[in-house]
Amino acid sequence: MALLVVGCWRAVPPGSGTGVRITDIYGERLTVDGAAVQPDVAQPTGVRFARH
């Protein structure tokens, strides 16, 4: 699995971290705590971006 970090893809070991931060194209950020990063695993969060 990999994450795009400042224009470069970086490898992430499975099970790394305890959460993720996502930024949309408008600059709004969401932080999802307690979600381990796992490949091919859907994890519902209940958080949503605002409508633009």
Interior CA angle at 31 toward 19 and 2, to 5°?
A: 50
> Between these two residues, 15 and 10, which has the higher pLDDT value?
10
What integer pLDDT is reported at residue 17 of this predicted model?
63
How long, in residues, is the chain? Answer: 52
* DSSP annotation of 18: S
What integer pLDDT is reported at residue 28 of this predicted model?
92
pLDDT digits (tens, 9 = 90+) for 12-27: 766 666 677 888 889 9
Q: Are strands 19-23 and 29-33 parallel, antiparallel or unpaired?
A: antiparallel
The answer, yes or no, to whether residue 3 has pLDDT greater than 70, is no
What integer pLDDT is reported at residue 21 of this predicted model?
81
Considering the entire predicted model, what is its pTM?
0.50
